[in-house]
Amino acid sequence: MDVIDHPKHGSIIYHPSLLPRHRGASAINWTLIHGDKQAGFSVFWADDGLDTGPILLQRACSVEPNDTVDTLYNRFLFPEGIKAMVEAVQLIADGKAPNISQPDDGATYEGIQKKDNAKIPWDQPATMLHNWIRGHDKVPGAWTLINDQVVTFYGSSLFEGATPSGQPLEIKDAPKPGIISKNGLVLFGNDGKMLMVRNLQFEDGRMIPASKYFSTGDTTALELTEDENAMAHKIKAIWKGILSNVAIIEDSTDFFKSGAASMDVVRLVEEIKQQCDGLELQNEDVYMATKFEDFIQMVVRKSRGEDKEEFVVNYASRAVNNMTVNMPYQCFINGQFMDAEDGKEYETINPTDGSVICKVSYCSVADVDKAVAAAKDAFENGEWGKMNPRDRGRLLYKLADLMEEHQEELATIEAIDSGAVYTLALKTHVGMSVQTFRYFAGWCDKIQGSTIPINQARPNRNLTFTKKEPIGVCAIVIPWNYPLMMLAWKSAACLAAGNTLVLKPAQVTPLTALKFAELTVKAGIPKGVINILPGSGGLVGQRLSEHPDIRKLGFTGSTPIGKQIMKSCAVSNLKKVSLELGGKSPLIIFSDCDLDKAVRMGMGAVFFNKGENCIAAGRLFVEESIHDEFLRRVVEEIKKMKIGDPLDRSTDHGPQNHKAHMEKLLEYCETGVKEGATLVYGGRQVPRPGFFMEPTVFTDVEDHMYLAEEESFGPIMVISKFKDGDVDDVLRRANNTEYGLASGVFTKDISKAMYVSEKLEAGTVFINTYNKTDVAAPFGGFKQSGFGKDLGEDALHEYLKTKAVTVEY
């Protein structure tokens, strides 16, 4: 290969800009200052110093909202630039190097920014202020006047969410005072939006965290543990290796005054990462703690996690159920609660009395895109994707513990938002959610592939093995009947597998999902891993099903909506789908059953959770010889049920979830009466405030009737007789439905029970019991009740992909 600077070739130059967009030495800074959506580099043939030579090759990358010069260099410009220079050299050597003249259109030449020109122009939107500060970051530094002193800003990022609390700071020419918060200096653009600056530098060169602006600088020195002292000795040795001219590193030794330069900062940061268990410092950490004593204190605080950002939560608080419940009501995106992009809200209603609980953020398509981007970044670049599976399990165990600590508050929120009876919410809605997270936390370090014997390609040998890998960003869309439990059933398996997620709770029951989001932060789940978006299914759910960066969608809801989701998922990017849809679960009661048990469990099969239960027995087939007695006992027991406030511990039956659903149930009953079914009990709204429906019983329901074919999803028992001893005919009738979610049989004849269980076309069959689900048992349906499983090991595989690897040796 010829030497590239040989006269016959000429010379080539690397330039950190997409020429001719920004020419000159500060090109990358101007990329940020101007808010360009793309950055990149050019390799061009050398000219006479004006960056106008012909282009040999170019590479581009997107500019993220909070990118800096450093992040662009580290992520793209440096690693890809080296590859590109190698490629350019090879193209020249092969005689294939392009020589493309630069156009003059759009060309700019912007020289090195001087400090005098870097003063912040305040009359701009927050995004433009942010671009100005990050574009001048490090050199020369964007500055302003505070108390007639020049103060330079470093480490800018856009800030979303509620305005944090803190002390106001007057800044000359700024549209409004800044706020010194726990995490930094919050600034405001002329559009009212916010940005945050992490570090400040004064005219004497002193740099401080912006959050410490009003502090005296006197902080209590930490007392180091034995392990921390050992770490301090390692760091002292690193300092000594860098500052070879210093005889002894003392507490007062100043890193820079002892001769260190900017390259030594990079070395210090990297050596500490290598020798101190991966502890990650930023370059600015060194600039803010230049004396060895201060540096050690800073490192120890970071290792203890004391530098974590403040987590701001705005609550709607209610004194209810002998406690104060604090309910977040904003979108949860990238580890922060924030208003919807367009500021829209909607009211969530207490079904007990129809009153407004609070207003909740109504997410838009822009919010979906923001949440998916956060989840993608957390999966591809964040610590979650690099985390040891056992550490991931530890975080999920901690989350389960926090849910258990807050179980009374969660159950109370569930009761007022969904109408669930508090005692049931405590045991099932919340209790099973805790169990689900604990179960899947235990699976995190047990996800494994297998080795497979294959034909050998002699004389070589082969090894084939499989790996189970997370899918990536997953969307989860859940219903309103068990708001927290449905979240847990899908999210726990998704997270245990190592995915990140964007979850849309039902529009009418968002509050426990948002409270759960708060607990995930307290558990230490990294930002971006879990995102919660309240809003409409037609807007948020549809965008999730269409989004190209989502690779899996799990849905529980109606069959028509499930079909629409499946279609959208196929058309967009063929994303993996699991669907738990409608049901019309048959329950067959034979005359040889334990009748007391059949009555008690048959009522539970229908009226559990006010009938708002996906596996509710939608149709009871009762053998003719016991039909009348069964019916008499059921009505007798219904009359004993207490209908009332779900927070009353003696209540058996609470309100239906929302008004539209109750009205649908009343129409369902009217249809049954019109078609000739016998209304034995109920069928009306309870005359009291709220959305209460009487427990209802129909009999003489024939196979062609609407009640026999369609799910009510409410407290409506639908009874049909079958002839004594005619097992096969009742099985035919039970299976004559497009649904296949669950089913049940009551009989003392175990042979009959096993025969019936084999013939029933349903994902779950209960024998002499009902509603007995467990976190370790797979749950899901057949036919138009959907496909895929929640719970058990099967659920884990819904959120994993299998990779086969074959090695020849």
The full DSSP string for 624-693 is HHHHHHHHHHHHHHHTTPPBS-TTSTT-SB---S-HHHHHHHHHHHHHHHHTT-EEEE--SB-SSSS--B
CA distance 683 to 562: 29
CB atoms within 10 A of CB 729: 12
152 backbone dihedrals φ, ψ, rounded to 5°: -100, 140
* Residue 236 neighbours by CB under 8 Å, 6+ apart: 249, 292
Active-site annotation holder among 614, 661, 694, 711: 614
Q: Is 494 a catalytic residue?
A: no
| CA nearest to 611, candidates 509, 699, 718, 713 | 713
CA distance 713 to 456: 57
Q: Is 363 a catalytic residue?
A: no
Contact assessment for residue 533 and residue 507, using Cβ atoms and an 8 Å cutoff? no
Q: Is 580 a catalytic residue?
A: yes
CA distance 546 to 502: 13
Q: Both tokens of residue 712?
A: 């009510």
Task: Give residue 558's Cα distance to chain centre.
Answer: 23
CA distance 419 to 346: 19
Kind and range of the H or E element at 365? Answer: helix 365-380
Strands 786-787 and 576-580: antiparallel
Active-site annotation holder among 580, 612, 761, 798: 580
CA distance 718 to 703: 11
Amino acid at 595: L
CA distances (Å), origin 461, targets 214, 703, 805 = 69, 63, 14
Q: Both tokens of residue 788?
A: 């895929």
339 backbone dihedrals φ, ψ, rounded to 5°: -70, 160
- Cα-Cα end-to-end distance for the chain: 34
Active-site annotation holder among 15, 130, 547, 627: 15
CA distance 587 to 731: 10
The DSSP bridge partners found for residue 681 are: 697
Helix spans in 524-642 (H): 542-546, 559-573, 595-607, 624-638
| CA nearest to 647, candidates 343, 421, 363, 401 | 421
User: Catalytic residues, which ones?
Assistant: 15, 580, 614
